[in-house]
Amino acid sequence: MTTLRDAAADAGVHVGAAVDADSLRTDTDYRETLAREFDAVVAENAMKWGRLATGEGGYDFADADDIVEFAERHDMYVRGHTLVWHRMYPEWLRPWSRSEAEARRLLRTHVQTVAGRYRGRVDAWDVVNEAVADDGGLRETQWLEALGPDYVAEAFEWADAVSDADLFYNDYGADGRSEKADEVYELVSDFVARGVPIDGVGLQLHVFDEQVPPADVAANVDRLTDLGLKVHVTELDVGIGAAVDDRAEQADYYRDVVSAAVDAGADTVVTWGVDDGQSWLPVASGGGENPLLFDEQFRPKPARDAVVDALSR
């Protein structure tokens, strides 16, 4: 049986999954499925600041190290996720309560500590995650309040100083034709024009309330690659419920959207998890059931075969 990994290699792309460190250590089926089927990994939560921090200035890299070391043993591409986000940061941080200079120092130190630790071991970083507001402009976050709008570009510059990885901006709702997709496009276009060291854009592509038309995904990938940027589909999952009715329709959508993205120039496709049993989507969306390529017993679903088909065309 052709694996996802085999099909991706033939297509010249990477296919990956978000990885939970505890499952990686304790679940043999999880580990074997990940190594057999995928050639790329991203840390689901283990590289986020709140998970890394042990106190002000302290870090525990054990979970992140385990994921990177597993990837190295199995010759896998590694995406780092994420250096700057408005969620999952340490309780002690409270950047809005600090001076601008102190908040900038703390964020710069964090970016460079984490990105620098994995220099030569992480292939791509989601440097900034979800900084664009759903209704336009930059999202009102503690980082915008503390540092002003230049913090996004600064984060890329800080990461570039210590890392040889490709540097990505990552967001949801930017995968098709929408006002938010246009906002993300304008943001990264401006970075390219200004010489900000950005290498790519990550399109999350969580599908649970309605389908994003594959043609719209392709059009967005096409205009981003026209800027000279790489495009990754970074957090793909397709929940059964409002967006698709059953496993057959789920498989059809996976086939169509992966084909569209890869044909347009996306060179990496990552699902947000390995198996249905550990997906975040049903809880987060209130629906979107069984959204991944393997069921709770790690049996391949029709969606998995559909992605193999999409990569084998």
Catalytic residues: 130, 235
Which residues, listed in sequence order, are joined to residue 3 by a DSSP beta bridge? none
Per-residue exposure over 259-298, b if at least 16 CB sit within 10 Å of its own CB, e if not: bbbbebebbbbbbbbbbbbbbbbbeebeebebbbbbbeeb
Tell me the one-letter amino acid at 268: T
Helices (H) and strands (E) in the chain, counts: 13, 11
Residues whose CB is less than 8 angstroms from the CB of residue 101 and which lie 6 or more positions away in sequence, other chains included = none
Query: Residue 305 class from Cβ within 10 Å (0-12 exposed, 13-18 middle, 19+ buried)?
Result: middle
- Cα–Cα separations (whole angstroms), residue 130 to 39, 137, 141: 25, 11, 10
**What is the spatial distance between Cα 29 and Cα 306, in angstroms, rounded to a whole number?**
22
d(CA 68, CA 105): 27
| Residue 171: how many other CB atoms lie within 10 Å | 26
Distances from the Cα of 240 to the Cα of 215, 237, 249, 301, angstroms: 21, 10, 9, 13
